[in-house]
Chain A
Amino acid sequence: MLIDCPWCGERPLHEFTYGGDANTTRPLESTNKDPGEDLAAWMDHVYLRANPAGPHKEYWHHVSGCRSWLIVTRDTTTHIIDQVAFAAPRAKEVQE
Chain B
Amino acid sequence: MNQQSNRLPNGGMIDRSRVINFSFDRRFYTGHQGDTLASALMANGVTLTGRSFKYHRPRGIYTAGPEEPNALVTLGHGARTEPNIAATTVELFEGLEAFSQNRWPSLRFDLLAINSLFKPLLSAGFYYKTFMWPRSFWYALYEPMIRRAAGLGALQNEPDPDHYEHSHIHCDILIVGAGPAGLVAASEAAKTGARVLLVDDQQTPGGYLSGEQLEIDHKPTKQWVCHIKDQLRLKEHVQMLSRTTVVGRYDGMTFSAVERVCDHLGDQQAQAADLPRQRLWTIHAKQFICAAGAIERPLVFDNNDCPGVMLAGAARSYLNRYGVLPGRDVIVFTNNDDAYRTARDLSAAGADVSVVDTRKSAAGAAILPADIKIFYEHALTEIAGTIQVTSAHITPLSGEGEKHLKTCDLICVSGGWNPTTHLLSHLGQRPDWSEDIAAFSLAEPGDNAFVAGGAAGSFDLADTLEKAAQAGCHAAKACGLDAGEQTPSPLVPQDFTYGIDAFWKMPDHLCDGSKSFVDLQNDVTVGDLQLAQREGFGHAEHAKRYTTLGMGTDQGKLSNVNALGILSQLRGKTLAETGTTTYRPLYGPVALGTLAGQQKGAAFAPVRHSAIHAWHAAQGAVLTHAGLWLRPYYYPRPGEDFAAAVKREVLAVRSSVGMVDVSTLGKIEMKGPDAGVFLDRLYINSFSKMKIGRARYGAMLREDGMMFDDGTVSRLARNHYFITVTTVNAGPVLAHMEFCHQTIWPELDVQFCTVSENWAAMAVAGPKSRDVLASVIDELDLDNEAFPFMAVGNGTINGAFVRIFRISFSGELAYEVYADARVGQGVWEAIMFAGQSMGITAYGTEAMTVMRTEKGHVAGPELDGRTTAHDLGLGRMMSQKKDFIGRRMAHRDGLVLDTTKQLVGLKPVEAGASFKMGAHLVEDPTLIGPDVSQGHVTTAVYSPSCDHFIGLALLDGGRKRIGEQIFVVSPLHNEQIEAVISEPVFVDPEGERTHV
Contacts and interface: CB of A to CB of B under 8 A. Distances in A.
Nearest to A31: B883
A30 B880 CA distance: 10
A69 B889 contact: no
A46 B741 contact: no
B889 A19 contact: no
B172 to A, nearest CB: 14
Contacts of B252: 1-2, 79-81
Contacts of B883: 28-31
B746 A46 contact: no
A5 B427 CA distance: 24
A19 B889 CA distance: 19
Nearest to A29: B883
Contact of A59 (B703, B739, B881): B739
A87 B251 contact: no
Interface string B727-743: 00001000100110111
A50 to B, nearest CB: 18
B141 interface: no
Contact of A17 (B703, B735, B888): B735
A69 to B, nearest CB: 4
A46 B703 contact: yes
Contacts of B282: 12
Interface core residue of B282, B703, B888 (most chain A CB under 10 Å): B888
A67 B888 contact: no
B563 to A, nearest CB: 28
A42 B746 contact: no
Given A1-B254, A17-B735, A69 B742 contact: yes
Nearest to B744: A26
A16 to B, nearest CB: 11
B882 interface: yes
Interface centre among B735, B743, B889 (most CB of A within 10 A): B743
A88 B747 CA distance: 9
A35 interface: yes
B460 interface: no
B254 A2 contact: yes
Given A1-B252, A79-B251, A91-B746, A30 B887 contact: yes
Nearest to B741: A88
B704 interface: yes
A61 to B, nearest CB: 6
Interface string B802-840: 000000000000000000000000000000000000000
A91 B888 contact: no
B888 A61 contact: no
Contact of A27 (B251, B880, B888): B888
Contact of B746 (A1, A35, A39, A90): A90
Contact of B738 (A30, A31, A67, A79): A67
A87 B742 contact: yes
A26 B739 CA distance: 12
Contact of A46 (B251, B738, B889): B889
Interface in B742-784: 742-744, 746-747
A1 B251 contact: yes
Nearest to B253: A2
A8 interface: no
Nearest to A79: B251
Contacts of A82: none
Interface in A38-93: 38-39, 42, 45-47, 59, 61, 63, 67-69, 78-81, 86-91
Interface string B697-734: 00000011000000000000000000000000001000
B891 interface: yes
B738 A89 contact: no
A78 B284 CA distance: 18
A44 to B, nearest CB: 12
Contacts of B703: 26, 45-46
A43 to B, nearest CB: 9
A69 B739 contact: yes
B250 interface: yes
A4 to B, nearest CB: 10
Contact of A31 (B250, B427, B731, B880): B880
A26 B735 CA distance: 17
Nearest to A43: B889
Size bracket of the A interface: 35 or more
A61 B704 contact: no
A91 B889 CA distance: 30
A1 B888 contact: no
B250 A38 contact: no
A48 to B, nearest CB: 13
A89 B746 contact: yes
A59 B888 contact: no
Interface string B233-252: 00000000000000000111
- Scoring A46, A79, A86 by chain B CB atoms within 10 A of each residue's CB, the highest score goes to A46
A88 B748 CA distance: 11
Contacts of B704: 46-47
A59 B880 contact: no
Contacts of A86: 742
B200 to A, nearest CB: 25
Interface in B443-498: none
A1 B282 CA distance: 11
A13 B732 CA distance: 18
Given A1-B252, A2-B252, A31 B881 contact: yes
Nearest to A67: B738
Nearest to B888: A30
A91 to B, nearest CB: 6
A88 B743 contact: yes
B884 to A, nearest CB: 9
Interface in B934-979: none
B741 A19 contact: no
Contact of A19 (B250, B428, B739, B881): B739
Given A46-B704, A61-B735, A91 B742 contact: yes
B278 to A, nearest CB: 21
Contacts of B427: 78
A72 to B, nearest CB: 12
A45 to B, nearest CB: 8
B947 to A, nearest CB: 46
Contacts of B251: 1, 79-80
Contacts of A69: 738-739, 742-743
A35 B889 CA distance: 10
Contacts of B889: 42, 46
B743 A87 contact: yes
A79 B250 CA distance: 10
A2 B286 CA distance: 12
A21 to B, nearest CB: 12
A27 B885 CA distance: 11
A88 B746 contact: yes
Interface string B863-887: 0000000000000000011110001
Nearest to A69: B742
B745 to A, nearest CB: 9
Contact of A42 (B735, B741, B881, B888): B888
Nearest to B754: A67
Given A29-B883, A42-B888, A88-B746, A63 B250 contact: no
Closest 3 CB pairs of A and B: A88-B746, A88-B742, A1-B251
26 contacts: A2-B252, A12-B282, A12-B284, A17-B735, A19-B739, A22-B743, A26-B703, A27-B888, A29-B883, A30-B887, A30-B888, A31-B883, A31-B887, A38-B888, A42-B889, A45-B703, A46-B889, A59-B739, A61-B735, A63-B731, A68-B742, A69-B739, A79-B251, A80-B252, A87-B746, A88-B743
Interface of B: 250-252, 254, 282, 284, 427-428, 703-704, 731, 735, 738-739, 741-744, 746-747, 880-883, 887-889, 891-892
Given A26-B703, A88-B743, 19 more contacts: A1-B250, A1-B252, A2-B252, A12-B282, A12-B284, A22-B743, A27-B888, A28-B883, A31-B883, A39-B888, A59-B743, A61-B738, A61-B739, A68-B742, A80-B252, A81-B252, A88-B742, A89-B746, A91-B746
